Structure 1
Amino acid sequence: MSEAADPGEVEYDEDTGRWRFKPRGLNITWSSTEGYWTMPEKGTDDPAELLKVCWLEINGSTPKPLSKGERYALSFKISMTEDRFGWQEAPAFMMAKVGKKGVAKWARINLADVQVGPEMKVPFGKLRFEVSKNAQDTTLYFGFYELWSGGWKGGLRIHEAVVEEMPD
């Protein structure tokens, strides 16, 4: 169904507090099925390309806990191919929650409005969240989804997911 996320495809910059998840560092449902996704070679910066699925589910989590009391933002760098399809039927959603039992923050992304070609970050303005000073579990769990419409969709490229500290 999907390959396990490769921890070697996740980078952390201690100076900036920024996590970078290459496509192979994410859990992409159906990524191991050739007719649904084209996955990049290990160690490259190439994107994962969605050929066709009716169930878009991409998940990730930070390998190390986030800092208590800090503010962060989540974004995905994406692009669309010339032959994209199926995005008119329903929006996609991004989710971020701190801790397995944390409260999820959601952002709605209308991929039908994304132009073909250039890479862009979604959601516009990033999905912002804060890690409570009292949090027991400070691992970030996040995802990118469209699994409610049941319609086939394709033409989405996932270049990376980024989790970064936000200055005060």
Structure 2
Amino acid sequence: MSEAADPGEVEYDESTFDAHVLHINYRTDDPAGLLKVVWLEIEGSTPKPLSKGERYALSFKISMAEDRSGWKEAPAFMMAKVGKKGIAKWARINLEDVQVDGVKEVPLGKFQFEVPENAQDTTLYFGFYELWSGGWKGGLRIHEALHKPAAAEDLASASIALEKKR
């Protein structure tokens, strides 16, 4: 087992956070893995402010071990907020459907947020959680968290969906 990397010494681009710079207690050179836990709380923030008025998508790259358990009864939730005092936006993630055979990005462009033009603090604070079920779960591997500008086609489809609801 290797020592955890110092977050200040890890090289990464401004939109990708590997598991070593997230606030996770147990760290190795491999993806962060849950052996067996009741409380899942992973948090992070951007090292540099985001651009005001821009729309971003947040996702996590995850995988599951063969011996995964407990996710049928316990969906996970992602959270994003701009600024420490910002309003948190939440997304429910059904981990029961994640296959064992590879890395999957969840929720793949569907979890979007906008940085307000009038925001004083444009740091992104984000998290990945399951702490409400009280049940044991395991087998989840966190590879990295990503934030990137929302694609124009994603914005267009979201706009169309809103128009259809009216």
Q: Tell me if both proteins adopt one fold, taking TM over 0.5 as the criterion.
A: yes
Q: How does 1:127-142 map to 2 (within 5 A)?
A: 127-142=111-126
Q: Is the 8 A contact 2:58 2:109 kept in 1?
A: no
Task: Encode CA deviations 1:68-120: one digit per residue, 9 max, x unaligned.
Answer: 01111110000001100011112100000001111111110111111112110
> Helix, strand or coil for the counterpart of 1:145?
strand
| Distance in 2 separating the partners of 1:75 and 1:10 | 19
Equivalent residue number for residue 17 of structure 2: 21
For this pair of structures, how many residues does the alignment match? 149
Letter in 2 for 1:133: E
Question: Structure 1 residue aligned with 2:40, among 32, 56, 62?
Answer: 56
Structure 1 position 48, deviation (Å):
1.1
> Helix, strand or coil for the counterpart of 1:27?
coil
The percent of aligned pairs where both chains have the same amino acid is: 68
Q: Unaligned regions of 5+ residues in structure 2, if any?
A: 153-166
Question: Structure 1 residue aligned with 2:28, among 28, 31, 40?
Answer: 40
Give the structure with the larger helix fraction.
Answer: 2
TM-score (normalised: structure 1): 0.82
Give the structure with the larger strand fraction.
Answer: 1
Q: How does 1:1-168 map to 2 (within 5 A)?
A: 6-9=7-10, 11-12=12-13, 18-28=14-24, 31-32=25-26, 39-41=27-29, 46-168=30-152
**CA-atom RMSD, angstroms?**
1.8
Q: Unaligned regions of 5+ residues in structure 1, if any?
A: 13-17, 33-38
Relative to structure 1, is the Cα distance of residues 69 and 78 closer, same or farther in structure 2, using a 3 angstrom cutoff?
same
Structure 1 position 10, deviation (Å):
5.8
Equivalent residue number for residue 36 of structure 1: none
